[in-house]
Chains A and B, each alone.
Chain A
Amino acid sequence: MEFENLAQSTAQLPDIEEVEFNAHPRRYKKLRVISISLFFLVLAVGVGILFFFKDLMFTLPFIIGWLLLYAFALLAEHKGFKIRGYALRERDISYRKGWIWYNLTTVPFNRIQHCEISQGPLGRIFKLSQLKVYTAGGSSSDLFIGGLDPEQAKKLREFIINKAGLDE
C-alpha cells in the first residue's frame, strides 16, 4: 500500500513492529496460572454441586470437558505469555498480547487523560502492580498493563505523566 500523497511515505514511518517489547517478570505467569486455576476450581465446584443434587449421568463428560478446557487454557497462557509485553517509544506506549487472539494496541502520549497504578489481592502476594492508562471517550480505548514490578510501574507512570503533560 502506498500513501503517495503524504509528506512521508509509509516506508519511512517509524514501524512499531521493529520495536523491542519488554516482557513481564516471570512471577506474573505464576499469578496468571493461579488465577486461571482458581476460575476452573470455582467452575468445577459450582457445577459439581449442581450435579450432586441433580443427576450423575453427565459427570464423566463434564470431567473430560473440564480437563480439556483447563489444559487448553494453560496451554494458551503458556504460549501467550511469550507474546505479552509493552513497548515505550518517544511518543507512545504499546501493549501486545494473545496467542489465540493476538492484539496490539498503541496509545499516543498526547491523547492520554489520566494514568494510575493499582494492585489486587493476588498482586499484593506476588508484589505486582497494574498500570492503567485512560484516554477520553470510554473504556474501550483504555490500556491496562498488568504484572509490573511496583517500582517499574511507578517509573512508567511518572514517565507517561511527564510525556503526556499531565500534572499531579
Chain B
Amino acid sequence: MSEAKFSEPTRQHYLGVVIYFLRAARRGLSLLITFVVLSTFNTKFIIPLIIAFIVGGILMVVFAILQYKNFTFKVDEKYLIIHKGVLVKDKTKIPLERIQSVHIEEPLLQRLLGLASVQVDTAGSQGKELEVPALETEDAVALQKVLRAKKEEKIEEVKPQAEAEPTGEEEKSQEEIEESRTLIHLNIPSLLKVGLTDNHLKNGFVALAIVFGYAMQLEEYFQGYVSGLIEENFDEIRRMAYGMLVVSIVAFLIISILISLVKAIIKHYDFTARLASEQFYVKTGLLKREEYRIPLNKIQIMEWRTNPLRKLAKMETAHIYQSQSQEAQRKQAVEIPGCYQPQTDAIMKEVFELEEDRNHTLLTPHRRVYSMVLISFITLPFIAATIITYFAAGLQLFLELAGLIALIVFFVWKYVNSVELDIDGELITIKKGWVFPKRIVIPAYKVQSVSVSQNIFQKRRNLSHFTIFTAAGDRKFPFVSFKKSMELHNYLLYKAESSKRSWM
C-alpha cells in the first residue's frame, strides 16, 4: 500500500510553502537589520526600506510557492528521483542501492507545523546529501520505510550470495526497538552533569566570537563611532579594565558554564541510545528531535573524547562515524554523551565483536623530532612578532615570550608523549591528546586505502607519516619510522584484501 504511494511524482505538504518562505526570510534577516540600522541614522532610507521590504516579501512568497510547486519526488523500481528548482531546474536520480542511510529530522519550525524532513545520505565522492523537507510526519515515516525496504531489496538482488541479512527486517524494526536494551538514557541530573563537564572555555570563546562578530558588523553600521570613542578614552578604559579583570573573568566563566548547560539541554535532552542485535538507535534533542538508526556494520570509526572535567567524572563522549559522503561527514558524527566504562565496554563488544584478549603491538612516533617540528611551527610566529615589535615594546616582551615558549614546549611535549598507535590484529587504536584525550578505534578490515608519505627532511631520519583512509574519513599517524609505516601498510592491506566481511 505504502509502496504505491510514492511511485507517482509526489508533492510535499502544502505548508511546505511556509517553510520555504521562513527559510528565505531567515536568510534575508541580516540584510533587513542592515537597512533598519541605516535608516535610524538617516531618515531618507525609510521610504526605500519600506519599498524593499514589500518587494522582497512578495518575491519571497512567489519563490516559496514556486519552490513548493516545482518540488516533486518519486520512488520507482531503481531510483529515488527528485525534481526541484525555480530558476535552475534540477533533477536528481539516486540509485536505491547507493543509499547509505535515511533518517528523519524534525526542526523546530517543521515540528510546530506537524511536518518532518527526510534526509537521504549516499556515500561516495560524487555523493550528495539529499533532503526532502516539509512532509507530513506520517508521510516522512512512510517514505523512510519505502526507501529502506527497496534499498535492501536492491542489495539482495545485486548480491544474492551475500550473508543472509534477516529479511523482513523493516516490519520487525518497531518491535526490535522495543526489545533492544537501553544503553544510555540521560535523565535530568545526568544531562546536567554532561553540561557541567563540557568544555566551558571553548563554548565561552565561541559565544564571544559570535558576539564580537556581531559587534564588528554593528561597528561598520555605526561607521567607526564606537572605536573612535574607545580610542579617545583608551587610557581610562585600560585602567578600568585592569580593575575589572577579575570580575570579567568570573563573569565569563559563569556565562560559559550557562552556555554549556543550555547547549547540553538543547542537544541532548531526553537522549536515549539503545543497542539492538544489529543496530544502534539514538534519539535526542529538545527543539529539534533527531533520530538515528545506525546499522553496526556501517560504523567505520569510533572515537572516544574527554576533557579534564569529564576525566574527573570518569565520563567520555563517544562519536560514531558511518560511511557517508564528505559533505555529511563534516556535519555529523552521531554523539553518545555520558559514556562510563561499562557503556564503553558494551559498545566495544557489540560494535567490534571482541572476543578474548589479543596481543597488542604498540607504535609510537619519534617523540623528539615530532616535538621539535610542532614547537617550531607554533613558536615561530610569536618569535617573529616579538622581534618586529621589539623596538616599540622593549625587554619585558622578551621575558613574556620566554615564558610563553616554555609553556608551549611543555604542552607540546605532553601532547606528543600521548600519541600512540596500538594494533591488535583486528582493531587499530590511535590515542592522542593530553588535555583533551581522544581515542580513535578503526577495525583493520574496513580500511579503504592506506598511504605512507615522507618529506625530504624526514627522509634523512627515516621517518614518515602514515594515513589510514576509511569510508568515514581519514586519520593520520605522524612521525613514525618509515620501516614500521611500510609494515603497517602491508599488514592493513592484507587485512582489507583478505576480508570477505561486509564493510559498508
Binding site for B on A (CB under 8 A): 1-6, 8, 10, 13-17, 91-92, 98-111, 113-114, 134-143
Q: How far is the CB of B370 from chain A (nearest CB, A)?
A: 17
Q: Do B359 and A1 touch across chains, with their CB atoms under 8 A apart? A: no
- Chain B residue numbers with a CB within 8 Å of A8 are 494
Query: Can you identify 20 A-B contacts, CB atoms within 8 angstroms?
Result: A1-B484, A3-B491, A13-B490, A15-B486, A16-B493, A91-B493, A98-B453, A102-B455, A104-B489, A105-B450, A106-B450, A108-B496, A111-B448, A114-B124, A134-B124, A136-B124, A137-B329, A137-B469, A137-B471, A141-B448
Check if B40 is an interface residue, CB within 8 A of chain A. Answer: no
Q: Do B497 and A110 touch across chains, with their CB atoms under 8 A apart? A: yes
Q: Do A139 and B497 touch across chains, with their CB atoms under 8 A apart? A: no
Check if B125 is an interface residue, CB within 8 A of chain A. Answer: yes
With A4-B359, A136-B448 in contact, is A14–B326 under 8 Å at CB? no
Q: Do B469 and A140 touch across chains, with their CB atoms under 8 A apart? A: yes
Name the one of B423, B451, B486 contacting A105, with C-beta atoms under 8 angstroms. Answer: B451
Q: Do A10 and B487 touch across chains, with their CB atoms under 8 A apart? A: yes
Interface string of B301-341 (1 = CB under 8 A from A): 00000000000000000000001111001000000000000
Interface string of B135-171 (1 = CB under 8 A from A): 0000000000000000000000000000000000000
- Chain B residue numbers with a CB within 8 Å of A107 are 448-449
Binding site for A on B (CB under 8 A): 123-126, 300, 323-326, 329, 358-359, 361, 363, 423-425, 447-456, 459, 469-474, 483-484, 486-487, 489-491, 493-494, 496-497, 503-504
Q: Do A108 and B451 touch across chains, with their CB atoms under 8 A apart? A: no
Q: Do B125 and A104 touch across chains, with their CB atoms under 8 A apart? A: no
With A3-B423, A135-B469 in contact, is A141–B490 under 8 Å at CB? no
- Other CB < 8 Å A-B pairs besides A6-B491, A107-B448, A137-B469, 19 of them? A3-B359, A10-B490, A13-B487, A14-B493, A16-B486, A16-B489, A16-B493, A92-B497, A103-B451, A106-B450, A113-B123, A136-B124, A136-B448, A137-B124, A137-B470, A137-B472, A138-B326, A138-B329, A141-B474
Q: How far is the CB of B449 from chain A (nearest CB, A)?
A: 4
**Nearest CB in chain A to that of B358: its residue:** A5
With the chains together, A114 CA to B494 CA distance in Å? 21
- Chain B residue numbers with a CB within 8 Å of A113 are 123-124
- Chain A residue numbers with a CB within 8 Å of B453 are 98, 101-104
- Chain B residue numbers with a CB within 8 Å of A111 are 447-449, 496, 503
Main SS at interface, chain A: mixed
**Nearest CB in chain B to that of A135: its residue:** B448
With the chains together, A2 CA to B455 CA distance in Å? 26
Q: How far is the CB of A140 from chain B (nearest CB, A)?
A: 5
Q: Do B423 and A17 touch across chains, with their CB atoms under 8 A apart? A: no
With the chains together, A99 CA to B485 CA distance in Å? 18
Q: Output the residue of A101, A108, A139 with the most chain B CB within 10 A.
A: A108
Name the one of B470, B490, B496 contacting A15, with C-beta atoms under 8 angstroms. Answer: B490
Q: Do A136 and B497 touch across chains, with their CB atoms under 8 A apart? A: no
**Nearest CB in chain B to that of A104: its residue:** B452
Q: Do A13 and B494 touch across chains, with their CB atoms under 8 A apart? A: yes
With A3-B423, A92-B493, A138-B125 in contact, is A100–B456 under 8 Å at CB? yes
**Nearest CB in chain B to that of A113: its residue:** B124
Q: Do A137 and B324 touch across chains, with their CB atoms under 8 A apart? A: yes
Q: Do A141 and B124 touch across chains, with their CB atoms under 8 A apart? A: no
Q: How far is the CB of A75 from chain B (nearest CB, A)?
A: 12
Q: How far is the CB of A98 from chain B (nearest CB, A)?
A: 8
**Nearest CB in chain B to that of A140: its residue:** B474
With A103-B452, A103-B453, A138-B329 in contact, is A3–B493 under 8 Å at CB? no
- Chain B residue numbers with a CB within 8 Å of A5 are 358-359, 424-425
- Chain A residue numbers with a CB within 8 Å of B471 are 135-137
- Chain A residue numbers with a CB within 8 Å of B447 are 108, 111
Q: How far is the CB of B328 from chain A (nearest CB, A)?
A: 10
- Chain B residue numbers with a CB within 8 Å of A139 are 125, 326
**Nearest CB in chain A to that of B471: its residue:** A137
Q: Do A1 and B363 touch across chains, with their CB atoms under 8 A apart? A: yes
Q: How far is the CB of A59 from chain B (nearest CB, A)?
A: 25
Q: Do A100 and B425 touch across chains, with their CB atoms under 8 A apart? A: no
- Chain A residue numbers with a CB within 8 Å of B455 are 100-102
**Nearest CB in chain A to that of B158: its residue:** A167
Q: How far is the CB of B482 from chain A (nearest CB, A)?
A: 9
- Chain B residue numbers with a CB within 8 Å of A17 are 486
